[in-house]
């Protein structure tokens, strides 16, 4: 028993070293830009680079667009399927899981071929069209997370009674969705949104292949051309991801709390 415990501690300690070391090293590396002393030079360089602001801004706006698009597509569907078409649930669930099965690079390859300038829907022909395609691609990649988050949120409330109560008071569908259902699954939507944000903010493959000036390709470009700035960028990216995930965890904790206090 005691030996067992010692082995457990050793396993845990080794894992902790493996997982913490790269984080510490990245931080340390990012501070090494000036010879011999630790400094914030790398961060200063990054922050003063207009490209940094442009690409990060672009990715932030794009992730916002992705979240809006994802919620608009997933929330009404999840609601409708729960309320009226439970038979369809396995089909919808299967489709939302597909992006985990099909590698993103394959999906974007399909986009490039399907929406090229000579096709019916020449989205890649214009910058705006490509931006939309990229947002649609990100919304697709986030389908599994978004759907699961929202569906879990819907399961926690009795949507049938809520809907019928609202209908009996004379509310129409738009009003029901906007005023009754959405406010009750805000927590679920937000956790789906932040998860999406964490995925989108540093994404590389889609943005690079669709040739958009996003944060991911910028990081790779820096990686190829600078020494210490990439580490600073990684710290920024980790920070953003961690913050987003922390929000998700807190929201999940709150949702649990809400459900048990019922």
Partner 1 sequence: MSAQPQRALSVWLGVVPFFAFALVFLILPTLHVMLGAFQTPEGAFTLANLGGLMTGSILKALALSLKLSLWTAALGCGIGLAVAGAVTRGGLPPALRDTVMTFSGVASNFAGVPLAFAFIATLGRLGLVTVLARDWLGVNLAATGFNLISFTGLTLAYLYFQIPLMVLIITPALDGLKKDWREAAESLGASGFQYWRMVALPVLGPSLIGTFALLFANAFGAVATAMALTGSSLSILPIVLFAQIRGDVLQDPHLGYAIAFAMIVLTGLSNLIYILLRSRAERWQK
Footprint (CB under 8 A) of partner 1, residues 38-77:
72-74, 76-77
- What is the C-alpha to C-alpha distance for residues 200 and 30, in angstroms, rounded to an integer? 23
User: 118 or 262, CB closer to partner 1?
Assistant: 118
Length of the chain counted residue by residue? 262
Give the number of residues in contact with partner 1, rule: CB under 8 A. Answer: 81
Torsion angle (degrees, nearest 10) of CA 103, 198, 51, 61? 100
- Asked if 116 interacts with partner 1 (CB under 8 A), we say no
User: 173 or 184, CB closer to partner 1?
Assistant: 173
Torsion angle (degrees, nearest 10) of CA 115, 117, 123, 124? 90
DSSP character at residue 87: G
DSSP character at residue 118: T
Minimum distance, C-beta of residue 47 to partner 1, in the bound complex (Å): 17
Q: Which of the residues 166 through 195 are near partner 1 (CB under 8 A)?
A: 195
- Asked if 114 interacts with partner 1 (CB under 8 A), we say yes
Q: Answer whether 64's CB lies under 8 Å from 166's CB.
A: no
User: 96 or 262, CB closer to partner 1?
Assistant: 96
Three-class DSSP category at 185: coil
User: Binder to partner 1 among 64, 80, 155, 162 (CB under 8 A)?
Assistant: 80
Give me 74's structure tokens.
């997933």
- Asked if 122 interacts with partner 1 (CB under 8 A), we say no
User: Binder to partner 1 among 40, 204, 213, 247 (CB under 8 A)?
Assistant: 204
Which of 34, 63, 45 shows the shortest CA–CA distance to 216?
Answer: 63
DSSP character at residue 157: S
Lay out the site mask for partner 1 across 83-112 (x = CB under 8 A, - = otherwise).
-xx--x---x--x--xxxxxxxxxxxxxxx
User: 192 or 216, CB closer to partner 1?
Assistant: 216
What is the Cβ-side half-sphere exposure of residue 40, based on CA atoms within 13 angstroms?
A: 5
- Asked if 257 interacts with partner 1 (CB under 8 A), we say no
- Asked if 22 interacts with partner 1 (CB under 8 A), we say yes
- Asked if 153 interacts with partner 1 (CB under 8 A), we say no
Minimum distance, C-beta of residue 19 to partner 1, in the bound complex (Å): 7
User: 56 or 262, CB closer to partner 1?
Assistant: 56
Q: Answer whether 112's CB lies under 8 Å from 163's CB.
A: no
Minimum distance, C-beta of residue 185 to partner 1, in the bound complex (Å): 16
Segment interacting with partner 1, rule: CB under 8 A, options 19-27, 33-41, 44-52, 153-161: 19-27
User: 157 or 238, CB closer to partner 1?
Assistant: 238
- Which distant-in-sequence residues (6+ apart) come within 8 Å of 130 by Cβ? 123, 124, 210, 211, 212
């Amino acid at each position: 028993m005691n030996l067992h415990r010692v082995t457990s501690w050793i396993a845990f300690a080794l894992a902790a070293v493996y997982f913490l070391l790269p984080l510490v090293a990245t931080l340390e590396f990012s501070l090494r830009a000036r010879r011999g002393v630790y400094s914030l030079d790398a961060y200063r360089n990054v922050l003063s680079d207009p490209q940094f602001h442009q690409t990060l801004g672009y990715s932030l706006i794009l992730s916002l667009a992705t979240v809006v698009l994802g919620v608009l597509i997933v929330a009404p569907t999840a609601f409708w399927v729960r309320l009226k078409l439970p038979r369809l649930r396995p089909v919808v669930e299967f489709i939302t899981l597909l992006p985990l099965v099909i590698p993103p690079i394959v999906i974007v390859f399909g986009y490039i071929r399907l929406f090229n300038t000579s096709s019916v829907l020449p989205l890649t022909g214009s910058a705006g069209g490509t931006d939309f395609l990229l947002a649609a691609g990100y919304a697709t990649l986030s389908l599994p997370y978004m759907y699961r988050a929202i569906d879990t949120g819907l399961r926690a409330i009795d949507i049938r009674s809520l809907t019928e109560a609202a209908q009996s008071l004379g509310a129409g569908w738009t009003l029901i969705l906007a005023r009754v259902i959405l406010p009750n699954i805000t927590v679920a939507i937000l956790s789906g949104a932040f998860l999406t944000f964490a995925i989108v903010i540093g994404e590389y493959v889609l943005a690079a292949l669709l040739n958009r000036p996003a944060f991911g390709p910028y990081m790779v470009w820096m990686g190829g051309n600078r020494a210490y700035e990439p580490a600073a960028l990684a710290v920024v990216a980790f920070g953003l991801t961690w913050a987003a995930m922390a929000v998700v965890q807190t929201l999940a904790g709150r949702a649990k709390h809400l459900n048990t206090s019922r």
